[in-house]
Amino acid sequence: MHTDQTLVFDADDTLWENNVLFERVIDGFLDWVCAPAEREATRALLDRIEAANAAALGYGAAVFRQSLADCLQRLNADRTPTATELARIDELLTPLTDRGAIELIPGVADTLTALAGRHHLLLLTKGDQDEQRAKVAASTIDHHFRGIHIVAEKSVDTYRQLTAELGLDPERIWMIGNSPKSDIAPARRAGLRTVFIPHEHTWVLEHEELGPDEATLQLTAFPELLRHF
C-alpha cells in the first residue's frame, strides 16, 4: 500500500465516459456517407484526417466537426460540403455539443472520496480549455482535486514541467490514465510512476504498445486503486 502520494488523474475515459460518444457519432456518419463494403476504408480515412487535424488544430468537438467535414469532402472528390450536409454533421454532433450530465465511470466517485483522504489528488487533462472546464464542472467530483491542469498535449515536457512547477518528487507521483500514448509512456519517460487502467473505447489515436515496466501498475477497474493507495 502506497501512502501519502501525489496521484495525477487523466479525465476523459479514466474518470468519465468520453470517446464512446465520439464513436456513436462516427457510426452515424459512416452509416450516412458510405456503403457497408466501404466502411472500413472510410473509417481508416477518417482516422488519418483526425490524426492530422489533431496535430495541427488540437482536440475537441469543433476539431472533430472539421474532421468529419474534411472526410466528406475527400469522399466527394474534394467537393466542398453543402450547407445541408454541414447541417447533417451538426445534427450528428448533437450528443457532443449539447452534452448534459457527465457519466462517471463506475466506482470513480466513491474511490476518489476515499483516496482524497490520504493522498494529494491532481487532474491533468488535454483538449479545448472551455470544453474540458465545462466537463470538469459538470462532473461533480472536481472538489477532490487540489489542482486542475488543462493542457494542449501531454508530452514528456508536460510532465516534467508539472513536476517542477509544483515542486514534486517524481518518485512519489503516479499518473493514472487509460491512454498508453498520452498518460503512460510520456509520464514514464519523465520519471513518474504510472497506473494504466485500460478502457475498451480508448480512442484509436491514443493506442501505443507498452512494454513490461516495473514502474507501471496495470489494473482492470478504477476501484482497484484502493488496494494499492
74-113, pLDDT tens digit by residue? 999 999 999 999 999 999 999 888 777 789 999 999 999 9
pLDDT reading at 41 higher than 80: yes
Instruction: Identify the pLDDT of residue 73.
Output: 98
pLDDT reading at 158 higher than 90: yes
8-20, pLDDT tens digit by residue? 999 999 999 999 9
Question: Whole-model pTM?
Answer: 0.91
Residue with cell 466537463: 135
Q: What is the mean pLDDT of the chain?
A: 94
3-state SS of 73-131?
HHHCCCCCCCHHHHHHHHHHCHHHHCCCCCCECCCHHHHHHHHHCCCEEEEEEECCHHH
DSSP annotation of 182: I
Mean pLDDT value across residues 140-156 = 96
pLDDT reading at 26 higher than 80: yes
